Amino acid sequence: YDIGSSSIKAAIIDGATNQQISVAHFPETELDISSPKAGWAEQGPDLWWECVVQATRAVLGKSGVDASKIDGIGISYQMHGLVMVDKDYKVLRPSIIWCDSR
């Protein structure tokens, strides 16, 4: 997975051959970046999760690969970002993302 500020990309790679089997991204248009004040840049981690789920469904559907045959998952994230959670790991506020200048 590539969890970016514009979309979530997912790929299935054959580990034995290093060949790409399928690739998908979600959403089809760029994710919104909220700027409540000048120079601020925020996104909702819950939205990222929804997009991960949709990208996963898309890449599995395109490939025909049985999800139980996936041996590993790799994640790349959009540079640095701050996700604040409480003691139960509930997201407390929108994430401050890499392009925020406060």
Q: What is the mean pLDDT of residues 25-49?
A: 94
pLDDT one-digit tens code per residue, 65-96:
999 999 999 999 877 888 999 999 999 999 99
Phi, psi dihedrals of residue 60, rounded to the nearest 5° = -70, -40
Reported confidence tier of residue 13, pLDDT bands at 50, 70, 90: very high
pLDDT one-digit tens code per residue, 42-67:
999 999 999 999 999 999 999 999 99
For residue 45, is the peptide bond before it cis, meaning its omega torsion is within 30 degrees of 0?
no
Longest dimension (CA), the chain: 49
**pTM for this predicted structure:** 0.85
* Cα dihedral sign, 94-99-23-21: negative
| Number of DSSP helices (H) and strands (E) in the chain, helices first | 1, 6
